[in-house]
Amino acid sequence: MTDQDQVQKAARDVQQASRMLGTQTSRIKDAFLNRLAGLLESEGRDVLEANARDVARGREMGLSAAMLDRLSLNPGKMEDMAHACREVAALEDPVGEIEHMYQRPNGMKVGRMRIPLGVVAMIYESRPNVTVEAAILCLKAGNGCILRGGSEALGSNQALGRLISRALVDSGLPGEAVHVVPTADREAVNTLLGLDEFIDVVIPRGGEGLIRAVTERAAMPVLKHYKGVCHIYVDQTADPEQAVSIIHNAKVQRPGVCNALECLLVHADAAAEILPRVAQALGEDGVVFKADPQAAQYLGARAEPAQPGDFGHEFLDLCLAVRVVQDQDEAQEHIAEYGSGHTEAILTSRHDRAMRFVQEVDASLVAVNASTRFNDGGQLGLGAEIGISTSKLHAYGPMGVKELTSTKFVLLGQGQIRE
């Protein structure tokens, strides 16, 4: 059987399993989640050994530091995955919930019931923890899922997939409900993207090239998780100490992730106070600044002249574009031109300016006086996320359990007929 035949068979098997999942009780689904948490804790050594081999191959292949950071697992990340399983188990199950029940003049009652999407295909790069997060969220929402990670994480994903299958079977659920594609052959992805008779939606998560390729080839709907060109605008009334702390966290904590800060906008009246502090605090951690002429005069030796392509660029590294703006209008115009709809933040002590920013700036999360790093399902109380959608249909922002469901109409009558 060819790789393409195997992918088609797996998709058919997942679809069949998903019909069973959609009718399962919360108790059974939560038993799976808790069982998987236990396996990640008790048998994580095999996963870490597989991951160590993947990381070693990645270094030989010349993967960037940001890619290696995304690829690497450690005992702490294993514990985080186990914790996410238990958090998702503790969430309310949305499947079967009836929303917005109302009565028509003829006495009929109409409502919307939450239902699973069906089969979700996830195509992603580097991060093996996505394998677990996608599986647990899909299963909690009653969906089957097909997971195709990057070739650089093949061993890690296969090891995690074995634990997921074991937890499914141990909990009385079909082991075919989650399928981790076992090949790095890119043709398998093309096959997968043509199987709209089995797959209801595909979610790409990774670089711009991956997302564009999936969008162009997919025969089924695509939920885009596009690049994160995240901005912070520092208003002239922002507290300087607080501002530098937030900027440092947003850029330095994990520069290789999609909610990391990529461009800093500072009001002209605050530049002389804020930017030298930013240069010192971030420069100590190796950040290089791509600065416009006004900003460069305050940033010292680590500033380089900004090139046209630096604004709107996702560096995913210790590099930050910096621009001085004259007012909030100019800041918001910059964000509208260069932002990617991911995360935008304003630092200010003025409530009216904060509320204007929240209302007018278009992004999946708009923050006031907080780091862009909070645009994350776990941080926002979703337990985990399958990714951050920058599409507005059918979700915008981190996608948790509820975002992996849809609704159908339910009509309750007492014999009414249409006149």
User: Phi first, then psi: what are they for 343, rounded to 5°?
Assistant: -145, 135
Tell me which residue of 193, 172, 170 sits closest to 181, measured CA to CA.
Answer: 193
With bands split at pLDDT 50, 70 and 90, how would you rate the model's confidence at 100? confident
Burial status of residue 329 (CB atoms within 10 A of its CB: 0-12, 13-18, 19 or more): exposed
When comparing pLDDT for 196 and 127, which is higher?
196
* Amino acid 362: pLDDT: 97
Mean pLDDT of 165-180: 97
Tell me which residue of 111, 107, 133 sits closest to 120, measured CA to CA.
Answer: 133
Other beta carbons within 10 angstroms of residue 319's beta carbon come to 17
Name the DSSP letter for residue 381. T
* Amino acid 95: pLDDT: 96
Mean pLDDT, rounded, of the chain: 95
pLDDT tens profile 263-307? 999 999 999 999 999 999 999 999 999 999 999 999 999 999 999
* Amino acid 382: pLDDT: 86
Query: CA-CA distances (angstroms) from residue 34 to 21, 30, 145, 168, 378?
Result: 17, 6, 19, 11, 17
Displacement of CA 156 from its chain's centroid (Å) = 19
**CATH code for the structural domain at 230-374:** 3.40.309.10
Global confidence as pTM: 0.87
Report d(CA 96, CA 103) in Å as an integer.
19
With bands split at pLDDT 50, 70 and 90, how would you rate the model's confidence at 127? confident
pLDDT tens profile 307-333? 989 999 999 999 999 999 999 999 999
**CATH code for the structural domain at 3-223+399-412:** 3.40.605.10
Q: Which of 148-152, 209-213, 241-245, 347-351 is least confident?
A: 209-213
Q: Pinpoint the residues of the chain covered by CATH 3.40.309.10.
A: 230-374
Burial status of residue 12 (CB atoms within 10 A of its CB: 0-12, 13-18, 19 or more): middle
* Residue with token string 């396996």: 39
User: Is it true that the peptide bond before 394 is cis, omega within 30 degrees of 0?
Assistant: yes
Report d(CA 83, CA 409) in Å as an integer.
35
* Amino acid 327: pLDDT: 98
First and final C-alpha spacing in the chain: 57
Name the DSSP letter for residue 374. G
pLDDT tens profile 202-245? 999 887 888 889 999 999 999 988 789 999 999 999 999 999 99
Report d(CA 234, CA 266) in Å as an integer.
5
Number of H helices and E strands in the chain, helices first, is: 14, 16
Q: Pinpoint the residues of the chain covered by CATH 3.40.605.10.
A: 3-223+399-412
Q: Is the pLDDT of residue 146 over 80?
A: yes
Other beta carbons within 10 angstroms of residue 43's beta carbon come to 14
* Amino acid 394: pLDDT: 85
Query: CA-CA distances (angstroms) from residue 166 to 77, 152, 172, 174, 176?
Result: 20, 24, 10, 10, 11
